[in-house]
Amino acid sequence: MSFSVLLENKYSDIMYSYMPGSSTFLGGAGIIITSDSQYHDELFEYIKVIIDDKYPYFSELNSAVTPFENIHGKDCLSNQTSKKMLCNSLLTSNGTYPYYYYNDKMKIIYLSHISVGSERGISFTTDSSFDYDSTLKLLLNKKFKCDDKADIKMNTITYYDESKIKIPINETNSLIVKQFDNNNNKHQTNNMICSIYDEALKNAKPYQFPYSTFSEISNFEFNAPVSVLLAHLYYNYYETDKNTFEDIVNECCDYMDYSLKPSCKNYDKKKYNITDCIENLNTRTITFLNCIPENNKIYKAECSYIPYKNEKGIILQICLISSLILNLIYLTIILIYRNEKCINMGGLQFLLGLIISSIILNISIFFWIGKQKKFKCILKFWTIIIGMTGFISSYSIKAQIIISLYNNLVKSTIIKKVNNNNYKSYILYIIFSIVQLFLLTFWTFTQKGVETKQKYLEDVGYYDYTYCSLGNETLLIIIFGFDYILLVLSIILAYRGRQIPSAYNESKKIFITSLISFLLLTLCYVSMVLTMKKDFIIFGIALFVIITSLIIVSVFVISKLLVIFNINIQSNVSVVVLNKDDNMDNIDRIPSLFLTR
């Protein structure tokens, strides 16, 4: 038991006190004094301080338990009594009681205990059978209440001595009356209780330590570490087994520590260690240092990231590698057959931008897995933004070119001029990209790497976990806002192409993929701003990003690969190459359009 409260202001001679043991419901803490104990004199001086009435140690360490009442000694030390309080206490029970007084001879009167306002008081019984002195007859119609002094004018009485009250007769004289012993009055006043406490304390004897000090002693008796130690020594256990003498002694000490530790249930001052992430289990084990969990329950906290060796991490890595391989295959084939007519009709730059953006977006998933580090946190955000911006810009430009070419072709305008105008559509996306890169660079300097927060775990308390710093959150919102603007523009452009004949189906694909990308971008933003993410949430978002980006690329690329490898699946192509001399009247028979040569 340690008192670290500074007491020098009130108790200048006591500044700090330490006492071994543990305070409990039964015997409090304990001290053992043997013939081998050091500093006997000092120890007894210490005990004198502990039990001294003027210090709070005795009253705070132990409850004085008597057969009558449970009360802290400190309450009695601070009990301030006055004549008025004692008078109220004496008259606390309602009823009519006999009193006596001496005036040459003993005379008996009957007084009624009554309430007078908020105080207790008396009145004389007016029964005609009672013979009162002529002096007392003047008081029959009056009520007196308790106060610190007796006053006939104020109609007040006061406490005089044990079971005695002082009643004023006139301005100069008073009558002292004493109550007969009354066994019906069972109410114990604070003064009575403290009197019992004082008497009980004088006769009290301390419990022998440690038999009644704390409940953990039963665990100590059950485990019997000392008996086990003596048995090992008696049978020379350390000579016949691999354990050394030091190991046996340490085992005994461990048993003692375990036996004397309290239960963690309803224990507020828990101390514990929490391990690093166990990757295959995706958990952190919590070990209590100063208490024992109920039923030896094992407490675990979830890791704040998806480990590489966990099943979710392994699934993500397999899906990620598969997606990257497919994207690289797409990219290789597109580059090899870049001069093919179907590749030109599909738009070489569009296909390359789409595949490269998908690869960058997939690479960002690598930084979602494993323990957070500053460079991973920064690269994760950069690759997400660059990948999403490239994705959105690719099919936004594609939609704008398709709609522009179709509208101008129908109006029989000069397509070469249209081709020149289409390059102007790149300017908006280039400006957006430059601004985003500038903001990304500025945001990187505000990013603090890996930060630490606390999370509450039931029955344990708060523990620390790490997460990627969000840096300047305003910049974060603005950067994502640019992508949302591009998405809205892409959706509007694709929607404008809804009246294009079904043969020209690229705009419809772009409209659908733009809507999907809206959800994709939102999930990426959520994965960034959530500091403490459940592993299944981040796992689901990452898996959705991988699969969705691969599907979007495949939708635009596979149709071109079927044409390249002469696989006969009937489908409409997006564009055709027209010569300037082609008849515009045959436009309805042309399945698609792109650029003129």
Helix (H, G, I), strand (E, B) or coil at 166: strand
DSSP codes of every residue in 376-440: HHHHHHHHHHHHHHHHHHHHHHHHHHHHHHHHHHHTT--HHHHHHHHTTHHHHHHHHHHHHHHHH
What is the reported pTM? 0.54
DSSP codes of every residue in 132-147: --HHHHTTTT-EEEE-
CATH number for domain 311-429+474-589, candidates 2.170.120, 1.20.1070, 2.40.50, 3.90.1150: 1.20.1070
Domain boundaries, the chain: 2-70, 93-186, 217-260, 272-302, 311-429+474-589
Calculate mean pLDDT across residues 475-480: 88
With the C-alpha atoms ordered 6, 12, 16, 20, is the resulting torsion angle positive or negative? Answer: negative
User: Is pLDDT at 419 greater than 70 in this prediction?
Assistant: no
pLDDT at position 523 is 87
User: Is pLDDT at 359 greater than 60 in this prediction?
Assistant: yes
| Phi and psi angles of residue 184, each rounded to the nearest 5 degrees, phi first | -80, -15
Lowest mean pLDDT among 152-156, 225-229, 356-360, 567-571: 567-571
CA angle 221, 225, 226 (to 5 degrees): 95
For 156-191, the pLDDT digits (tens) are 999 888 788 999 988 888 889 988 765 444 455 555
Task: Kindly report the number of other CB atoms within 10 A of residue 447's CB atom.
Answer: 19
pLDDT at position 558 is 85
Calculate mean pLDDT across residues 515-535: 78
Calculate mean pLDDT across residues 323-350: 84
- At 407, the pLDDT band (50, 70, 90 cuts) reads low
pLDDT at position 323 is 92
Calculate mean pLDDT across residues 96-113: 85
Burial annotation 496-519 (CB, 10 A radius, 16+ → b, else e): ebeebeeebbbbbbbbebbeebbe
Count CA within 13 A, CB hemisphere, residue 545. Answer: 34
- Cβ 304 vs Cβ 283: under 8 Å: no
Which residue would you say has higher pLDDT here, 540 or 559? 540
- Cβ 8 vs Cβ 15: under 8 Å: yes
Percent of the chain with pLDDT over 90: 7
pLDDT at position 27 is 41
- At 472, the pLDDT band (50, 70, 90 cuts) reads confident
User: Is pLDDT at 210 greater than 70 in this prediction?
Assistant: no
pLDDT at position 458 is 79
For 222-264, the pLDDT digits (tens) are 777 888 888 777 776 656 666 777 888 888 888 888 777 777 7
pLDDT at position 315 is 92
On average, the pLDDT of the chain sits at: 74
Helix (H, G, I), strand (E, B) or coil at 87: helix
Which residue would you say has higher pLDDT here, 209 or 148? 148
Calculate mean pLDDT across residues 331-341: 86
- At 325, the pLDDT band (50, 70, 90 cuts) reads very high
- Cβ 403 vs Cβ 500: under 8 Å: yes
Calculate mean pLDDT across residues 466-483: 86
Choose the most confident range, by mean pLDDT, from 72-81, 236-245, 409-418, 582-591. 236-245
For 31-71, the pLDDT digits (tens) are 566 666 666 677 777 777 766 666 655 554 444 443 333 44
pLDDT at position 561 is 83
- At 586, the pLDDT band (50, 70, 90 cuts) reads very low
pLDDT at position 348 is 80
